[in-house]
Amino acid sequence: MKSVTDPDIEACYRPLYSSARDPIGKGSNGNGPDRMSSNILDNPCIIFIALLIAQSLAAYLGDFLHRRGRPIHKDEREDLDTIKTAILTLLALIIGFSFSMAVTRYDQRKNYEEAEANAIGTKYVRADLLPVDNGALSVRELLRKYLDQRILFYETRDQRQISQVNIETAKLQADLWSAVWPTANAQPTQVLALAVSGMNDVLNSQGYTQAAG
């Protein structure tokens, strides 16, 4: 049977993570208008200043048109007040739903990140269930490297580095599973089943956390 090498793993995961993390049409060099747009959207200060300027210009333009237009009659003003009340009510609903969705998504991601941290810690402890000569030490070493990559994923903001972190994470996941599965397959006991279950939780929690991001 043909063994799976690191280039095979990289070739398998590169399209998946490229489509998930990189904007469409960005290109292999990470430049272009899509990358610039992504950097702007990731900076809340720039968005705040741009919206403040746009709102100020809109208010100035509205006041300018109001001064140049004809006076509003009393019956027309009553209609405008009704429309204004409806618009403000709709705006309040949109803001309320937006904050509600944002808070829900934040809580969901926080819970997934906590679950992933607990899964990694639990698996590190359950590594003692593996035979010392058949993977216990290697699993712990791989988990340390895996944890470093997961932390780096949240600390970095460069898209190319994030893609590389995802590829390295996929390699480590394959190595972790390869370190646990042969021993569990050779000795299918309930104790080793706990080790396999813990590793499965580690691998699944990574996908849940990034999907909620």
pLDDT at 189: 82
CA-CA distance, 126 to 192, in Å (whole number)? 9
Q: For residue 47, is it within any domain? A: yes
CA 123 to chain centre: 23
**Same domain assignment for residues 133 and 60:** no
pLDDT at 41: 66
**Domain total of the chain:** 2
Domain termination residue (choose one: 37, 69, 101)? 69
Q: For residue 2, is it within any domain? A: no
**Same domain assignment for residues 61 and 118:** no
Q: 40 lies in which domain range?
A: 18-69
Q: For residue 80, is it within any domain? A: no
**Same domain assignment for residues 41 and 137:** no
pLDDT, averaged per 10 consecutive residues of the chain (213 residues), comes to 41 39 41 54 81 92 81 76 90 92 90 91 85 75 91 86 90 88 78 84 88 78
pTM of structure: 0.61
**Same domain assignment for residues 186 and 126:** yes
Cβ atoms 169, 149 nearer than 8 A:
yes
Q: For residue 92, is it within any domain? A: no
**Same domain assignment for residues 50 and 123:** no
**Same domain assignment for residues 120 and 210:** yes
Q: For residue 41, is it within any domain? A: yes
**Same domain assignment for residues 135 and 64:** no
